[in-house]
Amino acid sequence: MSQAANPRETPSPVAPAPRAEKPLRVNVRTPEVMERVQAEVEEHYRSLIVEKIRARGGSLTIGDTRVRLAKQFGFCYGVERAIDLAYASRRVFPENRIFLIGEIIHNPEVNRQLREMNIETLPWKEMDAQYDTLTGDDVVIVPAFGAPLDFMEKLDERGCKVVDTTCGDVMKVWRRVRSYAGDGVTSIIHGKAKHEETRATASRAAGKSGAGHYLIILTLEDTEIVCDFIRNGGDPDAFLERFGGAYSEGFDPARHLRRVGVANQTTMLKSETEEIQNRIRRAIADRDGGDETNFQVFDTICGATQERQDALFDLLGEPMDMLLVVGGYNSSNTSHLVEIGEKALPTFFIRGASCLKSLEEVLHFDLHRAEEVTSYPKALLGDGPVTVGITAGASCPSNLIENTVLKIFALRGVSAERVHAA
């Protein structure tokens, strides 16, 4: 495959703007291209061992070591589509510069593969001068999370070829917050204010008129502060300070919490989202004498996130000694799987097999300390029988699960050949 010129060789950050025109939304999914792309993607991410374990009902036992896989884990439809489109972009535009806004999904291995295809990353937190160097010959991939409106407008202005991989489930949330804005309802978004998807959603909460507002909340503690303000009012300045950076310009809690609609980042923990919805509903009803007409809700957790959470609850019904959750540390849906797991048994959030250092040492991400730490789980020690559960978020390819399975068996003295032959 021919490679595009290195974008770092771009001559000047002040290149003249191209014609102002709508970006060319390019369809790279032609049957011929997709056939080749799917073969390539399968080669990079498929796992025969994972398929074999799935075909056996999700469990593989060799000697006294058993591995159990959740019924649903790994790549979701939105992620598969985004990766296919990114690979197809390079096939369709072998000579063009291709850029990606941030990460296509939250998995280091997948993002590394794209870098190897000379797909360069543009900053996603804020636009820098690099965006002003884009031209009509450049291809820009919008990730599965979507991108904020001002980023899309910049691509419009520069006239780039846009390959938009935004997941349909994310766009459903956008439609919801736009409709709240159209009804004069403020969007309360349950999500992470700095997450790509939530930033993209929040940017749409102004609606067509531009008059809509939003407030982003993450925790039950945030929810209680909002509910208290709804019921009793309070000091708007203190409220705004508490939620700094997580509300729309001009947001006034005294005015904009009168009519609210809840939506959520697609990958949140369902039980927590429901609790937040219920608390806000009760606060509105308390304030309005039992009337709930100033409250709207629309559950926007995506089907894939829901299936992975449900499958983990099922898996936790089986006896296991430990749970490994495989995925990128910045993956929201993966971190919620960890939260579910750690309530039930020793759970380790790992990037991949290399985190399993030995029988005694596991490198993993501690969600509470927000850092990678080393633990020394006793579950893998000794000669007795051991059952290890494995799940993975929607951004984790099967080959990383396969490596993890092989490593567990290797640490228990079972060779890769035996696992393949089992």
Residues that bind ligand SF4 in the complex, under the rule CB under 6 A:
76-79, 144, 167, 169-170, 266-267, 302, 304-305, 333, 394
In the block, which residue shows the tokens 């930033």? Answer: 199
Describe the strand order of the beta sheet including 214-217 as a list of residue ranges.
Answer: 214-217, 186-190, 260-264, 295-297
Query: Which spans in 104-246 are helix H?
Result: 108-116, 149-158, 168-182, 196-204, 220-232, 236-242
37 vs 302, which CB is nearer to ligand SF4?
302
**Are 118 and 4 contacting, i.e. CB atoms less than 8 angstroms apart?**
yes
Q: What 3-state class would DSSP assign to 281?
A: helix
Q: What is the largest CA-CA distance in the chain?
A: 70
By Cβ distance, which residue is nearest to ligand SF4?
78
**Catalytically annotated residue among 40, 80, 196, 197:** 197
Rounded to the nearest whole angstrom, what is the least distance from the CB of residue 400 to ligand SF4 in the complex? 17
Rounded to the nearest whole angstrom, what is the least distance from the CB of residue 37 to ligand SF4 in the complex? 18
262 vs 337, which CB is nearer to ligand SF4?
337
Rounded to the nearest whole angstrom, what is the least distance from the CB of residue 333 to ligand SF4 in the complex? 5
**Are 205 and 214 contacting, i.e. CB atoms less than 8 angstroms apart?**
yes
172 vs 282, which CB is nearer to ligand SF4?
172
60 CB-side CA count, 13 A: 21
In the block, which residue shows the tokens 């020793």? Answer: 346
**CA-CA distances (angstroms) from residue 245 to 37, 145, 258, 305, 337?**
40, 20, 21, 27, 27
82 vs 386, which CB is nearer to ligand SF4?
82
Rounded to the nearest whole angstrom, what is the least distance from the CB of residue 304 to ligand SF4 in the complex? 4
133 vs 330, which CB is nearer to ligand SF4?
330
**Are 81 and 165 contacting, i.e. CB atoms less than 8 angstroms apart?**
yes
Measured CA to CA, the distance from residue 280 to residue 289 in angstroms comes to: 14
Rounded to the nearest whole angstrom, what is the least distance from the CB of residue 296 to ligand SF4 in the complex? 21
Measured CA to CA, the distance from residue 381 to residue 369 in angstroms comes to: 25
Q: Is 197 a catalytic residue?
A: yes
Nearest to 68 by CA among 284, 421, 385, 395: 385
Rounded to the nearest whole angstrom, what is the least distance from the CB of residue 182 to ligand SF4 in the complex? 23
Beta pairing, strands 65-69 & 59-62: antiparallel
Rounded to the nearest whole angstrom, what is the least distance from the CB of residue 294 to ligand SF4 in the complex? 29
96 vs 333, which CB is nearer to ligand SF4?
333
337 vs 356, which CB is nearer to ligand SF4?
337
Measured CA to CA, the distance from residue 322 to residue 258 in angstroms comes to: 47
Rounded to the nearest whole angstrom, what is the least distance from the CB of residue 332 to ligand SF4 in the complex? 8
92 vs 304, which CB is nearer to ligand SF4?
304
Q: How many residues does the chain have?
A: 422
**Are 337 and 312 contacting, i.e. CB atoms less than 8 angstroms apart?**
yes
Nearest to 42 by CA among 98, 113, 106, 102: 113
**Residues annotated as catalytic (active site), given as ranges:** 197
